[in-house]
Chain A
Amino acid sequence: MVLFGETKLPEITKKVIATPGEKVAVIEEFNSGEGTYLQESNVRSLHVGEIRKNLSERSINIKHPDSKNILPQLGDIITGVVETAQTKIANICIESINGKLSKAGFTGMLQLISNQSSGRGRVKRGATCRSGDIVRALVFSIANSTIHLSIDRPDLGVLKATCSMCGGDFVRLDDRLKCVDCGFIEERRLSSEYGNK
């Protein structure tokens, strides 16, 4: 019995809008670009969006109207809260991706070794960040489906921290922080934008 193949779906090659699964081109015409996939010899849409043809690369792309950036990708800048900070790594709960709020609750891994060396090959405990700090970091790898973060840039690092002794606010003293309430001094790997709202 032939269930399919009798009713033809409408031809859509001239359309400018595509919904998931729609045929947007054949492989002889265009390569499969962003937001598309190849099924046999047909290029089909992966999501709702506008069809954009790149004639120089002969590729076809589907641009989502909302551009929902739902997973942290390589090169993204994220802002998050430090969940746990250990000697070599810290786990960051990602709260925003490229300035867009993310409620997905992804956790990234911040490696502290390269940024934390005291010059004699030693690692200074807790000098980079502590749990509860708000940090800005770069996604430099998503190998093994783990979000690897880096703060190895002047604008990256701790954006906001509170005193680990009394919970009070800090004032910045060059690379160190001083608590306005108890006067306790702590070290962090601070972003150049520390304290900016």
Chain B
Amino acid sequence: MSKLLNSKNRRLDGRKLDELRPIKMKVGVIDNANGSAYIEFGRNKVMAAVYGPKDVHPKHMMKTESAILKCRYHMTPFSTGRRKNPAPSRRETEISKIISEALEPAIVMTDYPRTAIHVYVEILQSDGGSRCAGVTAASLALADAGINMRDLTSGCAAGKIDGKVALDLDEVEDMEGDADLPMAILPNLEKVTLLQLDGDFSHKEFIEALKLAKKGCLKVYEMQRNALNDKYFGNEKA
């Protein structure tokens, strides 16, 4: 097994165990969509766009009391080291579903009866943790579209590398590490909307990883707020 931590507990990219990768966020990057956002989460590059609320097709999917949320997570062929087949894979179908489920509790669906909200998450470059970046970008795009939301959804992962719990794993750490715990929360309402676990944790490590992931999510949330303020109020102090 390759060594992912040095003697000073620093990771391969020089980060501490509880340090996030550099994050950049921009809101309103696509003119044709109702709302959009672009996020760089380390080497991840994610674009999200929202269309709607709009008419539902096919009509039988319409809900009379609320909107329906349709989400598509897609990795571009050039997002990975080896060309990725652009056709939707099992993994993408699963992530589309979990992103949709992570976003739905945040949206006031009953405000838009008989409509559909379409969320498109496009991974331009992938480097581990793209589902968390996708949820974060999609939430920003929904807020940009002016859709009524109970809270923003912020995502961040924690994991275990070389037997130690670490925040925000990159691709190498994800592949070579012992566990990965992606998480998304509604920070103000204090609710977890996405929690997955791939790997092994002891009970103590699991609690530690949860707390670390939550800490990361709150940092991501602060950046989301700043990105929205930047767009609408020109960095006016919130």
| Cβ–Cβ < 8 Å partners of B189 in chain A | 21, 39
Q: Are A9 and B108 within 8 A (Cβ)?
A: no
B146 at interface, CB cutoff 8 A: yes
Q: Are A104 and B52 within 8 A (Cβ)?
A: yes
> A13–B111 Cα gap in the complex (Å)?
26
> A44–B189 Cα gap in the complex (Å)?
10
B197 at interface, CB cutoff 8 A: no
> A5–B53 Cα gap in the complex (Å)?
34
A-B contact count (CB 8 A): 108
B192 to A: closest C-beta gap in Å: 7
Segment at the interface with B among A65-73, A152-160, A164-172, A188-196: A65-73
Known: A1-B207, A15-B238, A20-B106. A47 touches B64 (CB 8 A): no
| Cβ–Cβ < 8 Å partners of B150 in chain A | 20-21, 37, 39, 44, 46
Q: Are B149 and A71 within 8 A (Cβ)?
A: no
> A145–B210 Cα gap in the complex (Å)?
42
**B224: nearest chain-A partner, CB-CB:** A19
B115 at interface, CB cutoff 8 A: yes
> A46–B52 Cα gap in the complex (Å)?
17
Q: Are B233 and A65 within 8 A (Cβ)?
A: yes
A147 to B: closest C-beta gap in Å: 9
A10 to B: closest C-beta gap in Å: 9
A69 to B: closest C-beta gap in Å: 9
- In the complex, per-residue mask of A30-46: 1 if CB is within 8 Å of any chain B CB, else 0: 00000001010000101
| Cβ–Cβ < 8 Å partners of A66 in chain B | 146, 232
Q: Of residues 174 to 229 in B, which have CB atoms within 8 Å of A's CB atoms?
A: 186-190, 192, 207, 210-211, 214-215, 218, 224-225, 228-229
Closest 5 CB pairs of A and B: A21-B151, A4-B190, A68-B146, A20-B149, A104-B54
Which residues of B are in contact with A by a Cβ distance under 8 Å?
34, 52-55, 64-65, 106, 108, 112-115, 143-152, 186-190, 192, 207, 210-211, 214-215, 218, 224-225, 228-229, 232-233, 236, 238
Can you list 27 A-B pairs with a CB-CB distance of less than 8 A? A3-B210, A4-B214, A5-B190, A7-B214, A7-B215, A17-B238, A18-B238, A19-B152, A19-B224, A20-B150, A20-B151, A20-B152, A22-B188, A22-B225, A23-B188, A37-B150, A46-B108, A47-B149, A65-B232, A70-B52, A70-B147, A71-B112, A104-B54, A105-B55, A145-B65, A145-B113, A146-B114
Which residues of A are in contact with B by a Cβ distance under 8 Å?
1, 3-5, 7, 9, 12, 15, 17-23, 37, 39, 44, 46-49, 64-66, 68, 70-71, 103-107, 144-146
